[in-house]
Amino acid sequence: MGLHWSIAAIMKIRTGYAITYETFQPTPMMFLLSVHPSRAADILTPEVMTFDPPVDAHQYRDAFGNVTTRILAPAGRITVATDFLVHDSGELDPVVPDAVQHPVQDLPDEAMRFLLGSRYCDTDKLSNIAWELFGAGPEGWARVQAVCDFVNQHIKFNYQDADATRSAYDAYTQQRGVCRDYAHLAVAFCRCLNIPARYCTGYLGDIGVPVVPPPDFSAWFEVYLGGAWHTFDARNNRRRIGRIVIARGRDATDVAISTSFATALLIRFDVHTDEVLEAGQKPTPILTKEQAAAVPGQVDKPKAAAPARAVEKAAVPPGAAVAESPGSPKASEAQKTPESPKASETQTAPKTAAGLTKVA
């Protein structure tokens, strides 16, 4: 049974992005920026994707069930943006310590592809290492947590070290990277250990933790144990509040926030994920790592602390100005085909104006 400590019975999160690209010719592009269908029932206000200048756009479900949006961007600058509210339970990531590891022959067919190597999860190079590191330890949940503990300590996080061509093996040998590298290495190790693992991307605001700028999309992973998929986060290596998944796949190749089929330069990039406070409501208190990991019923409620970023309801207008961050190293994190300049990402503040194309 999962362990849950509810911080808030009902939580509203205001989230969205604004991303600007510059192209030099009409450029086909596709985006994985819509909330995953599994969270569709939690969307409180329309998740309207706007393009400025307006362009025709259409959506479809990819092979992993993610919502993909396609456009033909005109030459020049184009901004894609949205701003909406999401309901969340306000609970920490669940913990299921008795979730068992299944023999491969007992796994469901749909989990099998998440045992195989992929573009960034080069299991062939990591298999022996994985068994040397984790083969003698317990199986199931404890083994995945051991993987997270190792990866969290082995890689040093630094946005300046972002490299869109870095594989899981590269992250292991170089011992540096960004959130996608933590996820890739953990996913690869789990697959080497015969645990199905899939890469996830989405929103993860600083709720219940100290604010760490700049706001960004986040990467984590899920494993198949005990007949269900469970969330793990090697980068933060702690239970968090308010994850909103956008896409799942084998690795970052499958869930790049944008893919362009000619040069598209990242000009501006902004993501916001903030707890919305009703009148008189206090922000979620900051939890220590020990409090976040505690078993329910064995921990006191946290004392008031400096609040994580929160916004009063409707306090920040959708047209709020954003800081420009051209050349930000985080831009390379979600590139679809990092070997060429055709895939890039950007963020900018939410912008709504008459005449913008809207994709609901």
Say if residues 273 and 17 touch (Cβ distance below 8 Å): no
85 and 54 housed in the same domain = yes
Q: CATH number for the domain including 237?
A: 3.10.620.30
Task: Tell me the C-alpha distance between 255 and 271, whole Å.
Answer: 17
Final residue in a domain of this structure, among 222, 249, 276: 249
User: Which residues form the domain of 65?
Assistant: 11-90+257-359
pLDDT attached to residue 232: 98
150 and 191 housed in the same domain = yes
Nearest Cα to Cα of residue 189 among 231, 229, 158, 234: 234
43 and 77 housed in the same domain = yes
Task: Tell me the C-alpha distance between 85 and 259, whole Å.
Answer: 26
Task: Tell me the C-alpha distance between 295 and 267, whole Å.
Answer: 45
End-to-end CA distance of the chain: 37
Q: CATH number for the domain including 15?
A: 2.60.40.2250
Final residue in a domain of this structure, among 210, 226, 249: 249
Question: Does residue 3 fall inside a structural domain?
Answer: no
pLDDT attached to residue 125: 98
Say if residues 348 and 19 touch (Cβ distance below 8 Å): yes
Which residues on neighbouring strands pair with residue 228, listed in sequence order? 225
201 and 164 housed in the same domain = yes
238 and 263 housed in the same domain = no
Q: Which two tokens stand for residue 239?
A: 């239970």
Question: Does residue 51 fall inside a structural domain?
Answer: yes
Question: Does residue 162 fall inside a structural domain?
Answer: yes
> Which region, left, alpha or beta, applies to residue 90 given φ > 0 means left and ψ of -120 to 50 means alpha?
left
pLDDT attached to residue 290: 78
The kind and range of the H/E element at 125 are helix 123-134
115 and 85 housed in the same domain = no
Structure-token match 């300590």, residue found: 153
- How many domains is the chain partitioned into structurally? 2
The β-bridge relationship of strands 76-88 and 244-249 is unpaired
Task: Tell me the C-alpha distance between 202 and 238, whole Å.
Answer: 17
Q: Is the pTM of this model over 0.75?
A: yes
pLDDT attached to residue 359: 52
Say if residues 53 and 353 touch (Cβ distance below 8 Å): no
Strand stretches in the chain, DSSP E: 11-23, 27-31, 49-52, 57-61, 67-73, 76-88, 156-157, 176-177, 197-203, 217-225, 228-232, 244-249, 258-260, 264-277, 310-312, 357-359
pLDDT attached to residue 292: 77
Task: Tell me the C-alpha distance between 209 and 293, whole Å.
Answer: 13
Length of the chain: 360
Task: Extract long-range pairs of 127-136: CB within 8 Å, 24+ residues apart.
Answer: 127/192, 129/172, 129/192, 130/188, 130/189, 130/192, 130/193, 131/192, 131/193, 133/189, 134/189, 134/193, 135/193
Question: Does residue 152 fall inside a structural domain?
Answer: yes
71 and 121 housed in the same domain = no
Question: Does residue 98 fall inside a structural domain?
Answer: no
pLDDT attached to residue 293: 72
Question: Does residue 6 fall inside a structural domain?
Answer: no
pLDDT attached to residue 287: 85
DSSP assignment of 31-77: E--SPPGGGGGGB-S---EEEES---EEEEE-TTS-EEEEEEEPSEE
131 and 232 housed in the same domain = yes
pLDDT attached to residue 9: 57
Question: Does residue 5 fall inside a structural domain?
Answer: no
Final residue in a domain of this structure, among 249, 279, 294: 249
Question: Does residue 47 fall inside a structural domain?
Answer: yes
118 and 241 housed in the same domain = yes
124 and 178 housed in the same domain = yes
Say if residues 258 and 343 touch (Cβ distance below 8 Å): yes
169 and 288 housed in the same domain = no
pLDDT attached to residue 304: 38
109 and 234 housed in the same domain = yes
Task: Report phi then psi at 203, rounded to 5.
Answer: -90, 140
What does the pLDDT profile of the chain (360 residues) look like in tens digits? 444 444 445 899 999 999 999 999 999 999 999 999 999 999 999 999 999 999 999 999 999 999 999 999 999 999 999 999 999 999 999 999 999 999 999 999 999 999 999 999 999 999 999 999 999 999 999 999 999 999 999 999 998 999 999 999 999 999 999 999 999 999 999 999 999 999 999 999 999 999 988 899 999 999 999 999 999 999 999 999 999 999 999 999 999 999 999 999 999 999 999 999 988 888 899 888 777 776 443 333 333 333 444 444 433 333 333 333 333 333 333 343 333 333 333 333 333 333 344 454
